[in-house]
Structure formats: structure tokens, C-alpha cells
A and B are shown apart, each in its own frame.
Chain A
Amino acid sequence: MSPGQRLAELSALRVPDESVADHRFGDQLIALLPRLRRFARGLTGSAVDADDLVQAASERALARRHQFQEGTRFDSWMFRIVQTIWIDQIRSREVRKEQSDLGEDRLGSDEPVRRVEARLALSEVRQAVDQLPPDQRTALMLVTVDGLSYKEAAEIVQVPVGTIMSRLARARVALQLALEAGGGLRRSRKDAQAQ
């Protein structure tokens, strides 16, 4: 074997940096999928739509992975992509949800809830979330459900922290009123007492 051939063969053994980076990127993304699905479920109110949204976000993220800045939070970057695509979808489809659309079947929920009362309460919660305006729903999912700080949520949505604070407060009060009206909160209190 000539030195040139040997060198070519050895060069082929090197792991391409780009391929390794792609693999790591995919690993990060896969690890994040459960949280992205939860976020998307809250935004869309539908299991199928949520997974479509996460798939679209994953594809967009892969196509634009060069835009992700190492050292910044990958989850925040992905949440922003999910939220951006969702807003685009709302605008392009001009989605107008009818009350009749809001049902357990649309939510596609199959979480193991042991008691009927608890299940009803959680169903009411999801319906109540589904009726919030999109900006309040986003703030609620990012902060209350995913546990991000106001600052982190503000960076994802690209609004001031004060805007997140007021959106979140409106969402939480609206939710509380809806649950009080529907009885879900009372049931959940009884449920908590029973436990």
C-alpha cells in the first residue's frame, strides 16, 4: 500500500466533527421531547396537533441547528421554535375554536389518573387552559407547568418580563374562575383532603 493510500484510509477513520455534532444535537433534542410534547399539548389542546407541532419544530431545529449558539439554553431555543411555529399556524389557519370542539376526545389524554373525580378535574383544567388567549396560554405553560422563570419565559416569547407577569396573572385568575365555576377546584380540594 502506498503512503498516499494509507493516509487516505486513515483519514477515513476520523470521525467527522460535523457528524458527531449532529448526533449530539439529536441526542439533546430527543431528551427534550417529553417536555416539548407537554408544552405543545398545552398550546394546542390536542395530542395529535401537539405531536405534529413538535415534529415540525424538530425539523426546523435540525434545518437551523447552525443558528443555535453553544453555551445558551437548548430548551429555551426549542421552546421558542415550538411557540413560533404554533403562532404561525394560528395566524395562517385563523383557528377559531368552537365550544363544541372542546372535548375530552380532542385532548387525547391518557394519563393514568386513578379517581374519576380527579380525572374530571384535570379534564376541566385542560379545557380551561384551552380557552385562554394564546399569549396567556404560552406564559402559563412555560412558567407554571414547565417551571421556567419569568425572565426565561420572557426571552423565549421575546417580550418584557412585566408582560409575562401580567399575562400570567390574567391566565391564573381566569383559570381559577373557570375552575371555580366548573367545580373542578372544589373537587380537587376534596380530593386533596381525601388524600
Chain B
Amino acid sequence: MHKRSDDRLVAYLDGELEAVEQREVEAWLDGDPAARDQLAALAQSAKLVRRAFDGVLHEPVPNRLIAAARGDTRAGGKGPEILPFKQPQAAKRLARWRQWQVGLPIAASLFGVLVGGGTIYLGISKFAPADTAGALARPALEAAISNNLWLDNAAGYFKLFVSAGDNAPVDIPANGDSREALQKISQSLPQQIRLPDLKPWGLNFRGARLIIVDGRPAAQLTYTTDNKAIGPLALIIGSSNQPDIAPTFDRRQDVNLIYWRHQGRAYALVGQANVGYLWGIGNDVAWQLDAI
């Protein structure tokens, strides 16, 4: 029999005792009301401690910390590139196309986005070098171009959504049963998608739309808020055959993106909120969707 102590009670609460010790503590608790009170008080204080600090997880992460993590001590410096390599001809064409696409005027049409994205996507293999040395570089090159296209399209759709204002096209409006709406959208996607609840951030689900990102179907979930520091926002969920990556920040002109890939899905949280808010909301989304 181990001694009866606060160490045992705390370890019992934390699930750190062996089965035998656990039974001993339970027997002790059964016969000792004071120990039960002490256990309840310890549990309550532990809950309070967690609550006291969990708010930090939802705070915006300062830009200087993100810059430090990237090895860039100039806070607010240039956003990270996906992969650092010298641009080949295909990538230069892509860059020119990207400038054109991100700079789309308000009247830019969905048709242009779809056709442009599809054409570039299909054209990658034609531009890539075909000999042995090129074959070594091509997978990484294609992945980088594909990733850039994905982000370009995500930013482009967000701009279309914002510029359309109240008239933004939505396949499935928010009113009614959102689960049913998502099921309808999911029928066109490889996997069932779920709707993250962003109400704690003051963001209301506005609707869902089926879009084409980098030549693949994806769902664009849009959220609006009266808080101009945060919204509106779009969450894009698509499929990917690329390896998983942790949440990463990137930027397209005045549009910020947090994107990541997890188990065959690609995610992008897109908006004009500052990067700190986006990180906080992105973490929340990833946690809710078990997608990180």
C-alpha cells in the first residue's frame, strides 16, 4: 500500500497511476470524504489553470514571431516562398499569369479563373524538361507550381467573393440545414466535408460553393462578420495528392492565406485579416476538423 498523499491524488487525477495504485486510491477515496473533497478541489483548480491560459492559443501570433520562426528577423518582411528555386521558363510564365490573375479587376469572371487554372495545370508537363536531370527536378517543380496555382485560385475566388458583396454567388446558402448543404457539396468531392463553427470569432457562415481549384473540385465555405479586422473569410477545402504540410502562411497582394495539407486534403483559410488572426482562426479550424 502506497502512502496516502497529495502526490497520489494528483497523479490519480492525471491518469498517471498503475492499475494497482489506482485501485488503492479509489479504495481510499471510498472511505474518506475529506479525500474526496480534496480530489474535487484539485480537479477544479486544474480546470481553472487550463482555462486561465488557453486563451493564449486563440490570440493572434505576432508577426515578429512568425518571422523569427522563418529565420527572418525583419518583422513583417516578405512572405515565404513555397520552395526556393531558380524560376524556369514555365514558372516565369506562371508568375506572369499569376500577376494577371491576382490583379483581376472586380469584374473578373469565374470562367477566366477556371479556364486559366486548367490550362496552366495541364500545361505543366509540356513546359517541364524531359531529360534525366529534368526528371529529377520535375516532381518538385510540378508540386511547387501546383501549390502556387492552388493558392492563386484560392486568392482569386476570395477576391471574386469580396467584390461581389451581397451578390456573391453561393451554391448552398446558409439558411436552412447546413449539414444538408454540405452533403450536397460533398457529393462532388472525393470526401465528405464538415462545417467549422466560427461563431466564437464573430464569423457567421454565409454559404458554400463548389469551385475548381488547380483543376480539381473544391468547396469554398464563406463567412462574414461585422468585425472588419477579421472578415470576410473563405475556407477552401479540396483534395490533394501532395504530401502533408503543416500550416503555412503566404500572401497574394492584399490577400493573406494560411494553407496546409492533411491526409489527402488541402485547406486554405483566405482573407484580408492580419496574419495573427488568421493563424488563430486557422488553428481553430484545423482543430475542429481534426485536420492538422
Interface residue ranges, A against B (CB under 8 Å): 7, 10-16, 19-20, 22-24, 26-31, 33-35, 37-38, 41-42, 51, 54-55, 58-59, 62, 109-113, 121-122, 125-126, 129, 140-141, 143-145, 149-150, 165-166, 168-170, 172-173, 175-176, 179-180, 184-185, 188-189, 192
In Å, the complex CA distance between A12 and B133 comes to 10
Are A30 and B131 touching (Cβ within 8 A)?
Answer: no
| Max count, chain A CB within 10 A of own CB: residue among B44, B73, B246 | B246
Q: Which residues of chain B from 1 to 57 have a CB within 8 Å of any chain A CB?
A: 5-7, 9-11, 14, 16, 41-42, 44-57
Are B280 and A34 touching (Cβ within 8 A)?
Answer: yes
Known: A62-B71, A166-B7. A33 touches B279 (CB 8 A): yes
Q: What residue of chain B has the Cβ atom nearest to residue A56's Cβ?
A: B68
Q: What residue of chain B has the Cβ atom nearest to residue A113's Cβ?
A: B55
Least CB distance from A176 to B in Å reads 4
In Å, the complex CA distance between A191 and B146 comes to 51
Least CB distance from B240 to A in Å reads 15
In the assembled complex, which residues on chain B have CB atoms less than 8 Å from the CB atom of A62? 68-69, 71
Least CB distance from A129 to B in Å reads 7
From B44, B57, B66, B88, give the contact of A38 (CB < 8 A): B57
In Å, the complex CA distance between A23 and B134 comes to 23
Interface residue ranges, B against A (CB under 8 Å): 5-7, 9-11, 14, 16, 41-42, 44-59, 61-62, 64-66, 68-71, 73, 80, 82-86, 88, 129, 131, 133-134, 136-137, 140-141, 144, 200, 245-249, 279-280, 283, 292
In the assembled complex, which residues on chain B have CB atoms less than 8 Å from the CB atom of A144? 14, 46, 49-50
In the assembled complex, which residues on chain B have CB atoms less than 8 Å from the CB atom of A29? 69
In the assembled complex, which residues on chain A have CB atoms less than 8 Å from the CB atom of B131? 10
Are B59 and A110 touching (Cβ within 8 A)?
Answer: yes
Q: Is the interface of B mostly helix, strand, loop or mixed?
A: helix
In the assembled complex, which residues on chain B have CB atoms less than 8 Å from the CB atom of A10? 129, 131, 133-134, 137
In the assembled complex, which residues on chain B have CB atoms less than 8 Å from the CB atom of A16? 84-85
Are B53 and A28 touching (Cβ within 8 A)?
Answer: no
From A33, A110, A111, A126, give the contact of B65 (CB < 8 A): A33
From B44, B246, B249, give the contact of A188 (CB < 8 A): B44
Are B16 and A150 touching (Cβ within 8 A)?
Answer: yes
User: Given A27-B245, A51-B64, A150-B11, 7 other A-B contacts at CB below 8 A?
Assistant: A14-B137, A19-B83, A26-B69, A51-B65, A166-B7, A173-B42, A192-B44
